[in-house]
Amino acid sequence: MAGAARGAAPAREARRDAIREILSGTGGNGNGGDGAVTSQAELRRRLRARGFKASQATLSRDMAVIGAQRAAGADGPRYLVDGDGGSLPLDPVRRLVDGVDHSDTLVVVRTKASAASTVARALDEAHLEDVLGTIAGDDTVFVAPRRSREGDRVARRLRTLLGLA
């Protein structure tokens, strides 16, 4: 029994790694990153193709642990992994952003006129782990990094996610 418990943790981590790969589109083996995952049933099918079996309850638990979330994408709802490098729900607002600047403790996102609240909401809904929150004006969004003195790092990440890097 103890041997089974020890073997379960590596299998669980391997399954969660596979889920991350499938949702972020980094599959590379033809069984994963072949399009958006729009349902848990689709995710279970792709996991089975990789040799992983998981009940719906196990899959839901794994997704919660890795931070997967359902979000609106350009082509409809899909599951995403926070910080997957560009597939976050920020894609639709990229065209609204003119630039990103920063100080040690604050990031400023410049937007088209009247677009700041839309961009701020997208940033908030992306649940970026290094962003504490946003404040929107008309054409400017103030982004508060979660940790002090990380404005530069957060600004770089936002530039990448928003297609400005």
pLDDT digits (tens, 9 = 90+) for 53-72: 999 899 988 887 777 777 66
Residues 62/55/31/10 CA torsion (nearest 10 deg)? 50
**pLDDT, average across residues 147-156:** 92
Whether pLDDT at 128 is above 90: no
Those residues with Cβ within 8 angstroms of residue 110's Cβ, 6 or more apart along the chain or in another chain: 97, 98, 99, 100, 101, 139, 140
pLDDT band of residue 137 (cuts 50, 70, 90) is very high
Whether pLDDT at 139 is above 60: yes
Domains of the chain: 2-81 (1.10.10.10), 91-161 (3.30.1360.40)
Q: In terms of pLDDT, which residue wins out, 61 or 30?
A: 61
pLDDT the model gives residue 112? 92
